[in-house]
Structure 1
Amino acid sequence: MCGRFGFFELKYFIELLRQLEIPFEEDETYRFAPGYNIAPESSVTVLLGNHNTATLTNAQWGLIPHWAKSIPKVRPINARSESLDTKPYFRHMFRNNHCLIPASGFYEWKRTEEARKQPYYIHRTDNRPMAFAALWDRWKPPEKNEKPIISCGIITTEANREMLSVHDRMPVILEPETWKDWLEAGKTGIENLLRPAREGTIELYPVSTLLNNPQYIKKNCIDRLDSEAPL
């Protein structure tokens, strides 16, 4: 599961793309604003796989398949890795439309003995930006004058050892050396990338419950609570 994340390191992400020699173009309509509490239905930064050259642009977080006659009431923000090639909703995207969703970290909630949920911030131990394996699609409204909507969803997998202390699922966090491969949809063996992060890849620590309000978007969303030690 991944229902909230933050991204505030665009410059660092672009530097990594250039170091990895991943060719990309920036869409002329692309806009970036640092986000510390990004919620579903938000416009997020994505790197769309498009054969030889990827595109850095914005997409709506919540998948709308191209074949939908109208915008679905329920728009999945996550897709389980185990069923991507069997569920009709995701099959076309899995075979044709891969993307990266960059993130500085993400949030998950753990139920405590007091029956309340404590939010945790999860980030890479090496402090690099994450890149989630994700799917995208382009939906064209029936009205001729309306612009197409690009949407995306994060692929999830089983939790690794660190993540299990909070939740039994986690987003697929791709290592930088696999980014180029993931962007090439249809490549043989690409499903092998959809696995839990290696142990030691992530660190978790508790943060303020102010995060529970998706309207709360201040930088201190990621501040560690002093009362608990990191996991």
Structure 2
Amino acid sequence: MCGRYAATADPGDLIEEFEIDADFTDEPTRSLLKSPQDPPPATPDHNMAPTKQAPVILTRAPKGEPAAPPSRLGPGGPRTSGHRLRQLRLLTWGLVPSWARETKVGLRMTNARAETVLEKSSFARAAAVRRCLVPAAGWYEWQVSPVAEDSKGKPRKQPFFIHRGDGDLLAFAGLYEFWRDRAVADDDPAAWLVSFTIITTAADPGMDRIHDRQPLVLERGDHERWLDPDLTDPAGIADLLDFRQSGRFAAHPISTAVNATRNNGPGLLEPLPRGELVGVVDPETGEVINGD
């Protein structure tokens, strides 16, 4: 699964990197957080966690809605034919289906399995027409040690940072959805919660020594097709969901500081010295490292 990742780029970098047509990250949006997000949305966040608002890339047609701000992202309304904008938006991590009675369900829907996403009612409609890209520097995963225990006698868990070996930004395949709060007026920005989930797939050889799942990372040549809302053919979508390309990722163990979501900053990405490793399996060689 992917339960934490590093979103280190600012909107300006993402606009250039992903050829964004319209940046809406400064628009007011509904948040599920009781306290202000820290770091603030649309700024580098090295410990992105569920319920936070994160930059997400999607493609939608501009809408001609005279009664509402034309830039407002919503599920209905007239569309201008043939013209679609690649947009950068702030969405809440943890997908809340439109039929959900309350928003807490999103905490159980931070990930969607590529193998079943076209079949499950919570994700099938979004997989057909509401696909997005989630930009990231990399993601965190926790390796369960086969030999070492923690102070409670349980298998020791070592956090890793996993990223592209060439240093390029990642684009996770994601889905987004709209949820309407009927208790809020139509013209209130809080009337709509727009949320997303990250699709996961089986881990690459080597990376599976850390965890058996990983985010589905799409290559640049597939971005346009994944974002195209006119792609509704299940076979075409399934082809993208089945994308695999081993050898793209590198991983290194990091400090357990990442375990606490309150911790942040580029220091979380720093490799942990080999001498501090206890019962850690090297993802490349399978060697068990014990501080030597």
Instruction: Provide TM-score, normalisation by structure 1.
Output: 0.91
Helix, strand or coil for the counterpart of 2:262? coil
Q: Is the CA contact 1:2–1:78 (under 8 Å) kept in the aligned structure 2?
A: yes
- Say if 2:109 is the partner of 1:76: yes
- Say if 2:208 is the partner of 1:168: no
Q: Is the CA contact 1:78–1:156 (under 8 Å) kept in the aligned structure 2?
A: yes
Aligned partner letter, 2:142: W
Partner of 2:152: none
Deviation at 1:7, TM superposition (A): 1.2
Q: Among 67, 71, 90, which residue is 1:58 paired with?
A: 90
Partner of 2:6: 6
Label 1:92 to 1:184 Cα distance change in 2 as closer, same or farther (>3 A).
Answer: same
Deviation string, structure 1 residues 96-143 (Cα, Å, up to 9, x no partner):
100110000100000112111000000001111100000001111011
Comparing 183-192 and 156-165, the one that deviates more: 183-192
Deviation at 1:193, TM superposition (A): 1.6
- Say if 2:22 is the partner of 1:25: yes
Aligned partner letter, 1:54: R
Partner of 2:181: 141
Distance 2:60 2:221 in 1: 18
Label 1:185 to 1:83 Cα distance change in 2 as closer, same or farther (>3 A).
Answer: farther
Unaligned runs of 5+ in 1: none
Partner of 2:99: 67
Q: Which is greater in Rg?
A: 2
Q: Is the CA contact 1:207–1:223 (under 8 Å) kept in the aligned structure 2?
A: yes
Deviation string, structure 1 residues 147-177 (Cα, Å, up to 9, x no partner):
2111000000111113111111110000011
Unaligned runs of 5+ in 2: 29-40, 62-83, 149-154, 285-292
Q: Is the CA contact 1:134–1:155 (under 8 Å) kept in the aligned structure 2?
A: yes
Instruction: Provide TM-score, normalisation by structure 2.
Output: 0.73
Instruction: Give 4+ residue runs of structure 1 displaced > 6 Å after superposition.
Output: none
Distance 2:205 2:13 in 1: 28
Deviation at 1:196, TM superposition (A): 5.7
Alignment of structure 1 residues 177-196 onto 2, 5 Å: 177-185=221-229, 187=231, 188=233, 189-195=236-242
Helix, strand or coil for the counterpart of 1:67? coil
Distance 1:24 1:108 in 2: 33
Deviation string, structure 1 residues 185-226 (Cα, Å, up to 9, x no partner):
352412212236412200011000111111111221000012
Q: Is the CA contact 2:56–2:134 (under 8 Å) kept in the aligned structure 1?
A: yes
